[in-house]
Homo-oligomer: A and B are copies of this chain.
């Protein structure tokens, strides 16, 4: 089963700067071979369910290994059985909707 996951790892008790830990997750993602994309409040990754959740687990393990005793992660995950939809497909669908606005004779 394919899954798309958007997650944000929040380390507790290690100060207010968290980029060091976010970077560690980016290294895990880069090494995984999965398709992913960082944004200002998380990272979206897509792939086989087990592969994606193995990566998420590894993120937690590696951040704990950096000396973080507690982590609270929030995530969204989507699955669909009707068709495969990639991250690029999702962005494109919205952009197509918005492009129609510009071709209308009257502004909204």
Contact = CB atoms under 8 A, between A and B. Distances in A.
Interface of A: 1, 4-6, 8, 10-20, 22-23, 26-27, 37-42, 44, 49, 53, 57, 60-61, 64, 69-82, 87-88, 90-91, 93-94, 96-98, 101, 108
A58 to B, nearest CB: 11
Contacts of A16: 12-13, 69-70, 80, 82
B10 A13 contact: no
A41 B4 contact: yes
Contacts of A11: 12
Q: Decide if the interface of chain A is mainly helix, strand, loop or mixed.
A: mixed
Contacts of A96: 19
Contact of A80 (B23, B70, B79, B91): B70
A71 B82 contact: no
Contacts of A1: 57, 60-61
B4 A87 contact: no
